[in-house]
Amino acid sequence: MWSTRIYVTIVVATIVACAATLSILRAMFIVLPGSYGGPLSQIFNITQHARLDEDVYDHPLNPHPVLRNPVFDFLYMNMNDHIEHHMFPLVPFYALLKLHELIETRCPKPHPSLRYADAEIVPFIWQRRDLSRAPWPPLRLTDRTYEPLPL
């Protein structure tokens, strides 16, 4: 409750300050950033988490790795290496690429782009009622050996 009250107080104070100074600058830095990056963040989150099964504890079987361009990699803080993030959540974002190189043989092949990932995810989202007909292809580990982690 207290964190919500503090958040609402900050938002109201920001709006009052904007009205008093006749400038939207404070809101652009305090209130509005969630609306700038929010939609893009949700697009990335859906591609990474749409297949998560609650009863599967083997992380490489869950998220969809997706290759992105360098700008999206920067904006999404290297979370295209998302399986690694779930397997080792304490690894900082800047070390995820190096971690990915260490455990690459344990991870599925990534989708080549968001378009390919969405081609699998959108039909699944539209037919949520019958989960037995999930359109997921078999896990793409066919050309790699499933090796234990190199610890």
Question: What pLDDT was estimated at residue 110?
Answer: 81
Question: What pLDDT was estimated at residue 143?
Answer: 46
> Which two three-digit tokens encode residue 75?
């904006």
Question: What pLDDT was estimated at residue 14?
Answer: 94
Question: What pLDDT was estimated at residue 146?
Answer: 47
Rounded Cα–Cα distance for residues 121 and 100 (Å): 24
Question: What pLDDT was estimated at residue 15?
Answer: 94
Residues 6+ away with beta carbon under 8 Å from 135: 120, 123, 124
> Which two three-digit tokens encode residue 56?
């599967």
Question: What pLDDT was estimated at residue 12?
Answer: 95
Q: Which residues of the chain have pLDDT under 50?
A: 135-146, 148, 151
As beta bridge partners, residue 66 has 111
pLDDT in tens, 79-109: 777 788 888 889 888 888 898 888 887 777 7
Question: What pLDDT was estimated at residue 142?
Answer: 44
